[in-house]
Amino acid sequence: MREFGEKIKRLRLAKKISRSEFCGDESELSIRQLIRIENGESRPTLTKLKYISERLGVEDYKLMPSYIELDKEYLELKYFLMRTPTYEDETIAQKKESVLIRFLKSIMIGYLRKKDLSSQIIHIWH
């Protein structure tokens, strides 16, 4: 919950919006509520979450602590693998296999980097 509040505060400050300005007339969200949310002492209701996301100019799901922006190449590879039928066409099947290998390497490299493992291990996959 604290991470969630810190993210809201960080985004609000990045936009240089004071708490008073953010809450406006306080009909949707009071300054006290915002402080409690930013400090991780309270969770917003769905209505308040919607208001906060609109004020910050981001989608509400992007405020969630577990949200991770996926790499564009990853999404393209995934889309290709899932949406391209082979219809027993060997050429397409080979292309999908090649893309699958790239896809798996991409995932593995990302995992290794995230785990902060040595660049020598990462080099093996290139």
Predicted confidence (pLDDT) per residue in 28-45, tens digit: 999 999 999 999 999 999
Would you list the domain boundaries of the chain? 2-63, 72-124
Place of tokens 């999908």: 96
pLDDT bracket for residue 15 (50, 70, 90): very high
pLDDT bracket for residue 123 (50, 70, 90): low
Whole-model pTM: value is: 0.58
Question: pLDDT digit string (tens) for 70-122?
Answer: 778 778 888 888 898 888 889 988 988 998 888 888 777 777 666 655 555 55
Alpha helices of 1-126 — where are they, by DSSP H?
A: 2-14, 19-23, 31-38, 46-56, 72-83, 90-114, 119-124
Whole-angstrom Cα distance, residue 20 to residue 69? 30
Helix 2-14 with 46-56: angle, nearest 10 deg:
30
Output the CA–CA distances (angstroms, integers) from residue 5 to 29, 37, 60, in the order listed: 14, 5, 13
Output the CA–CA distances (angstroms, integers) from residue 59 to 49, 107, 126, in the order listed: 10, 25, 35
CATH number of 2-63: 1.10.260.40
